[in-house]
Amino acid sequence: MLLQLKDIDKDYMQDKLPVPVLKKINFNVSDGEYVAIMGPSGSGKSTMMNIIGCLDKQTAGEFLFDGTDIAQCSDKQLSIIRNKKIGFVFQNFNLMPRQSAVENVELPLLYAGVKKSERRKRAKEALVRVGLEERMYFKPTQLSGGQKQRVAIARAIVNKPRLLLADEPTGALDTKSGDQVMELFKELNDEGVTIVMITHEPEIAQCAKRIVYIRDGELFAREGESL
């Protein structure tokens, strides 16, 4: 099992009082799965994503990533897990504005300590993989939304992560660019990458092999399906 969330609670403190945002979440994701998490605004999707992505810790319950108890990890250990095992894709791309596509894609390799020539080679391969071989030296401002998101996907996969985590990956894209991103996700999942994707668009969620729903911090599956 790649992800195991057991009775996860997350509270945020507001005026010194805890406000519950995630309530007893139980959720398992096996290697190779492709899961969509759907739910209305404010329901706790990004909060859950931050825990799965080892960016934040739960208030209570247990989260195992690839068998590792994340609550017991130091910040250093967490940054290594994030760098080596998880690729992140966000709604607004989060690219470095002054750096070219290939430099953006190289960044995770720089943090991983990969040497320069190898970094460039692998970043270029990732950009070819997402169909951007013609745009390697373009800056984000010179790219369309769909192209920017493909750079972000190249950056997310350049370290060959076990898990691709995407928070509204098509939220800022037109339908055609969104479809291209979904096509890419499907190919990556066929190649064995586990994907967990947040979306509030039903047509996008349909691209996943399993859909779970979050409402007011509680997670649900469709009847007959598991969490």
Q: Return residues touching ligand ATP (CB under 6 A).
A: 12, 21, 39, 41-47
Nearer Cβ to ligand ATP (39/53): 39
Report the amino acid identity of residue 100: S
Nearest approach, Cβ of 198 to ligand ATP (angstroms)? Answer: 7
Nearest approach, Cβ of 45 to ligand ATP (angstroms)? Answer: 3
Residue 194's binding partner among Mg ion, ligand ATP, none (Cβ under 5 to 8 angstroms by kind) is none
Site for Mg ion in 15-74 (CB under 5 A): 45-46
Axis crossing angle, helix 145-157 with helix 101-111, rounded to the nearest 10 = 20
Nearest approach, Cβ of 39 to ligand ATP (angstroms)? Answer: 6
Query: Of 108, 9, 58, whose CA–CA distance to 69 is shortest?
Result: 58
End-to-end Cα distance, the chain: 13
Residue 130 burial (C-beta neighbours within 10 Å; 0-12, 13-18, 19+): buried
Nearest approach, Cβ of 220 to ligand ATP (angstroms)? Answer: 14
Nearest approach, Cβ of 41 to Mg ion (angstroms)? Answer: 7
Nearer Cβ to ligand ATP (50/99): 50
What is the per-residue binding string for Mg ion in 136-165, x denoting contact by CB under 5 A? ------------------------------
Q: How many CB atoms lie within 10 A of CB 72?
A: 8
Residue 87's binding partner among ligand ATP, Mg ion, none (Cβ under 5 to 8 angstroms by kind) is none
Residue 39's binding partner among Mg ion, ligand ATP, none (Cβ under 5 to 8 angstroms by kind) is ligand ATP
Q: Across the chain, where does the E strand assignment appear?
A: 3-14, 17-29, 34-38, 60-65, 68-69, 86-90, 163-167, 194-198, 210-215, 218-221
